[in-house]
């Protein structure tokens, strides 16, 4: 559904930057929860996803996932999957499509993903 009255506006893609999209509704819902509880930290994460998703500036917070989580398939493409730690527990997982310059958010939550426990 297109954005409407009272909806939050997302920043547009920067020249040379990546477009950031949600791979599913759960990721979008998790993003909204992160926005409510950690808005400033989420903005920093956005800047990373939009500007340099494949080049970690802060290796403690931004890194490639390993083993069974190292790749993700989105729209039929197998993509490298990365993680950005927004807060101590909050995470964003994302697949990067460098050809189309799209970052697909596959997971976003204020809680650590149970899949990696």
What mean pLDDT comes out for the span 101-107? 97
What is the reported pLDDT for 8?
A: 76
pTM as predicted:
0.92
Does pLDDT of 55 surpass 80?
yes
Does pLDDT of 24 surpass 60?
yes
Q: Is the dihedral of CA 30, 36, 40, 46 positive or negative?
A: positive
What mean pLDDT comes out for the span 71-87? 97
Instruction: Give the start-to-end residue ranges of the domains of the chain.
Output: 42-116
């Amino acid at each position: 559904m297109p954005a409407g009255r009272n909806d939050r506006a997302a920043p547009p893609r920067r020249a040379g930057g990546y477009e950031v999209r949600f791979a599913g509704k759960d990721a979008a819902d998790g993003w909204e929860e992160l926005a409510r509880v950690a808005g400033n930290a989420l903005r920093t994460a956005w800047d990373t996803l939009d500007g340099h998703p494949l080049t970690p500036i802060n290796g403690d917070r931004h890194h490639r996932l390993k083993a069974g989580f190292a790749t993700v398939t989105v729209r039929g493409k197998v993509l490298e999957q990365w993680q950005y730690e927004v807060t101590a527990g909050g995470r964003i997982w994302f697949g990067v499509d460098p050809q189309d310059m799209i970052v697909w958010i596959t997971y976003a939550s204020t809680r650590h993903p149970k899949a990696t426990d």
